[in-house]
Structures are given as structure tokens and as C-alpha cells.
Amino acid sequence: MQAFTSIARASKRSVLRSANWRTVAAYTTHVPPNVAPGQTTQSQESTKTHFGFRNVLESEKEQLVGKVFANVAEKYDIMNDAMSGGVHRLWKDHFIRSMAPGPGTKLLDVAGGTGDIAMRFLDYCKNIHNDSSASVKMIDINPHMLKVGEQRFQATPYANTNQVSFLVQNAEDLADIPDESVDVYTIAFGIRNCTHVDRVVKEAHRVLKKGGRFMCLEFSHVENPVVSKIYDFYSFDVIPALGQMIANDRESYQYLVESIRQFPTQPAFAKIIRDAGFSTVGKGWEDLTFGVAAIHSGFKI
Amino acid sequence: MSLFKLAIRSHIRRLRLQQSPFIGCSALRRFNSTWTTTDEDYQQPGQLYETHIPISNTQRVILAAGSAVTALVDPYRGDMIATLGETTGQRFLSSIRDQMLQDRTGRRILRTRPVINSKVLDLDKLRQLPSDTFGSQYVGWLDKEGVTPDTRSPVQFVDDEELAYVMRRYRECHDFFHTLTGLGVTVEEELALKWFEWVQTGLPMTMLSSLFGPLRLTHGERRRLFMDYVPWAIQCGASAKPLMNVYFEEMLDQPIFKVRKELGIFLPPNHIVH
């Protein structure tokens, strides 16, 4: 009897964490419980959205995410390696290879943060095409992350060239980027932190030239039930513990794993990309590591 | 009222306490922190007190092992030592709580749940006391080391709210132990105090610190630790009154030699009290 109750308790815990949460309408805003379903909420500021598994006001979410990334900025790269066992490097390499940029490409790397994608892009153009005219503009809403990126670039041969520039911008409103000015738009592991995912994709559509490509690398939904169980255990039991031990910041990593669960599934996100005006090839995405990460791609045709 | 009815009522009350921690009834208000969180509809399943983070058993094992290693590698990570104590201390916190229940003052402490921080203890008033009193020596020690009673990490991983209080009381009394034993904050003196606490409480975290902490010392420090401090710690810890049962806040205006005599604490030999 005791064995049965302990199994029941364990499965209840895992149910609370895994499948049920994902079936919650992940990207639409949550209606606060004291508002009747028929009523509309007063103004933009009083609508609630998700912050991991919590409900917060939309106006607060940006600030809360900002605090998370200000806290994790210093140890961001170490934690990425610790959490993914170095696999994130393989994902990013594959991302750039599948982008296959030509010489002279202008890249807009949004939520570029510490500069992993930008650096790989410039290295690819230099090594494969022997090209130094490719340029990347790195955008991030968080100045701490951008500062870490600038410091990392100082140690590379691109340090004082005009191939890389840095700008603090909000991905939902790229005020300083003119229309139809970039060839490729990338956002790697950043879009799930944005309050309005659809606005980000619409802005991407605005700034891309005709024929330009939108590419998004993001954590996604694991279909395979065996891998999903292992992944859930790893996300909820190992990663916050790692965050506490290495970075002394449990809450930020708890938010990170919860925000992954709240992000739309691959087909839902591909639909958002198509709704913004992009054309997708085939399914529109490619799963990496059983769906732990996924590359979504759309062309502005 | 018959004994049977009494038993039923207390059982129902216990169930209610477990299931609905946010009802503000008087029995729950004894827990001195506030119940409201910043996000009212967010409550992790199984959260028993405000700073509680419920974790699975596997995560507990990972955290215990990982925090032990991290604390050894970087001794300045006090939060890792705190986590180690919380993840490993369940059984021993129960036995400390049972020991407190057998003593009159211990029962009073569990009932009233005093907390020690700079809002509750009036440090300025303590500074006014004559210099040979416990309170004056305590606040003098705090000022000299440049610490306040607010620097203790909150209890997060203990899965019982009464034991979480016992853990919190143990942490908050640590500075009182420093004052009573006359030990400072050098590494070997902290380790000596950990040996003393190991004998007094039996907590696995104190055991691990006592056995593995000395690995980081120089030869001279280790010799001083094991020749002078550890024999004293074991003798004094074993013969002193169980310090978790002592209501330190009520003894702050008494002369310190009297407090030491009453509690059965004697100073370490060859030791210059700072």
C-alpha cells in the first residue's frame, strides 16, 4: 500500500511538471481568476502573462526577465556548458552550417547576448569563403549581456573592425533598424523570454530584405516519451541544483526551465512564423536532440 | 471532553494545518514571518512555509553531494554549507526537536518561536550594558567581526515547518555560541566551534565540516586545532547543557561568567579571548 502511494505521489509530481503544463495555452495570456470569461480586461497593463509557471503582469515581465539575465550574465557561458554538457556548442555550429551564409551577408543577431552565434557566423564566412565583408549587428535588450559579448569580442580578430557592432534594443520594437535592411535575422535562445512572440516575428519580417531568411534556435517540445521523462527529470531536478551550486542563483534557472515548458510547440510556432508573412520550407523546423532544441526557419518571399 | 474526541480534534487540526498553510489562524501566526508572497496565486505544490522549496529525493541527493564538494572547493560559499545542512539534517533535526520537547525552556522556545535579527534584538540597548555582561560581549563580538545577526541564509529544503524552525534557531544561535566559547572567526576557531556543535547537535553537516574542513588548513593550524581545540570542544560540548534548549535572549543582561557557569561552558585552554 505504501509502495502504491509513493508511486502515486511521484507520478502526481511529474504530471504537475510535465505534460499538463505544456497543454496550457502557452503563448496566449492567462486571464486572472477574478475576471469573468466574458469580460475583457481594462488595459494592456492589467493583462497577465506567464513568467515560468507564475502569472505576472505583462508590464512586469520584461523587468523580471531583465533581472534574471543581469544575474546570470557573468556565468552565462559556464552555466550553458554545465547544463547542456557542451551540446549547445554543437547546436550552434549546426545552426550556422544550416544557415550557410554567403560572402558579404548582413546578419542581425537579436538577443545575441554573449555573441556565440555572431562569432560563429563571422568565422564561417572567413574560413569557408575567405570573406571579411560579412557583418553582424548584435542586439540585446539587456546591457549586461551585451557587455559580456563585447568583452568576448575583444579577444577575437574582429575586435576593432567594422564587422561587428552592438546595440541595445527591444526585439519587439527595433526602433533603430530600418526596414528591409538585413539579409538574415537570427534569434538564438532568446525568443522564449520575449513577452509577445508574435510581435518579435513581425518585426523580423519588417527588417528583412526580400528573399531574406528568419532563423530561430530555441528550446522546444520533446515528443519521444522516454526522452521526455529523462529531460523533465534533468530540467527540474538537476538544473536548478546546478544553478544554485555554480552560480548561486536557483530562481533564475528555475525560471529558465519553466519558460521552456511555456513556449509554443514546434507546429504552433511554425504557424506564428507563417502568420507573420514568412514562407516555410517543408515543416518549417528541424528538431535537434529529439526536440530538446529546434531550428525554425522562414523566408520572406 | 472525552479522550477520543480530543484525539479526533487534534488529528483534524493537524490535517488542516498541513493542507492549508495560508489560513491566518492563531496557531499558525506563531510562525513569525509573514505568509504573503509577492505573487499571490503562485504556490509551489507542497510548500509548507514561506521560504520552503520542495524538492525530489534525487535532487536532494544531488544537492547534498554537490554542495559538499562546492563548500570544500570554495569555503566562502556559506550558502552551500547551509544547503548541505538542510539536505542532510532531517533525522537529526527530529532528534534535536525531541530533545527540546523534553526540556521546559525548549518547549517554550518551540511554542513561542523567537527569531534573532537586528529588528528583534535592540543592538544599541545591548551596547549600553556593562561590559562584562553577555549582551555587551555579544554585540562587541558582532561589531569587531563586522557582522550582523541578519546574515543567516533562509531555510529552504527542510520538509517540515517545525524542523525548519529548529534549523533556523540553530543557525541564528551560532553567534551566541561564538560569544560564549570565546572563539573568533579564523578558520581553525570556526572548525573548533563546528566540533563543539557536532558534539552538541549531531548534525551531519557539522560532522562533515569537522572531518573535512581541516584538510584545507596549514600544518600549524591543523596541529593547533587538534591539540588544543578539539579535545576542549569534545569535553565542553559533551558536558555543557544542550544549548538548543537555552533562551539566550533572556540572559543577555547577566554577567557572562555566570551564564557560562550555568550552561557548563568553560573556555578553551591556551586561548586568548578576543
| Three-state DSSP class for residue A139 | strand
Is residue B88 a contact partner of residue B214, using CB atoms and an 8 Å limit?
A: no
Is residue B214 a contact partner of residue B191, using CB atoms and an 8 Å limit?
A: yes
Q: Where are the domains of chain B?
A: 89-274
Q: Which of B181, B204, B199 is nearest to B83 (CA)?
A: B204
Is residue A212 a contact partner of residue A179, using CB atoms and an 8 Å limit?
A: no
**Residues ≥6 apart with Cβ < 8 Å to A64:** A51, A56, A255
* Angle at alpha carbon of residue B21, lines to B82 and B12, rounded to 5°: 120
User: What does DSSP say about strands A48-51 and A54-57: parallel, antiparallel, or unpaired?
Assistant: antiparallel
Contact check, Cβ <8 Å, B45/A233: no
B175 is in an annotated binding site: yes
Q: Which of B164, B91, B54 is nearest to A10 (CA)?
A: B54
Residues 105-164 of A with CB under 8 A from B: none
Q: Does A33 reach chain B within 8 Å, measured CB to CB?
A: yes
Query: What residues of A are in contact with residue B79 (Cβ under 8 Å)?
Result: 244, 248
Per-residue pLDDT of chain B (274 residues; tens, 9 = 90+): 677 777 677 666 666 545 444 333 333 333 333 333 345 445 667 888 888 999 999 999 999 999 999 988 887 888 898 999 999 989 999 999 999 999 999 999 999 999 988 888 888 888 899 989 999 999 999 888 888 888 788 999 999 999 999 999 999 998 899 999 988 888 888 899 999 999 999 999 889 888 888 888 889 889 988 998 999 999 999 999 999 999 999 999 999 999 999 999 999 887 766 5
State pTM to two decimals.
0.73
At B69, list the grid cell: 564538494
Q: Does A240 reach chain B within 8 Å, measured CB to CB?
A: yes
Burial code (b: 16+ CB inside 10 Å, e: under 16) for B51-86 equals ebbebeeebbebbbebbbebbbeeeebebbbbbbbb
Give φ, ψ of A294 to 5 degrees: -145, 145
Strands (E) in chain A, as ranges, are: 48-51, 54-57, 106-110, 135-140, 164-168, 182-188, 208-219, 285-288, 293-299
Distance CA B159, CA A278 (A): 51
Distance CA B42, CA B38 (A): 9
Contact check, Cβ <8 Å, A245/B70: yes
Q: Where are the domains of chain A?
A: 2-299
| Three-state DSSP class for residue B81 | helix
Cα B239 off chain centre by: 19
Report the CATH fold assignment for A2-299.
Rossmann fold (3.40.50)
The one-letter amino acid code at B131 reads S
Compute CA distances B142 → A57, B136, B176, B267, whole Å. Answer: 42, 10, 10, 19
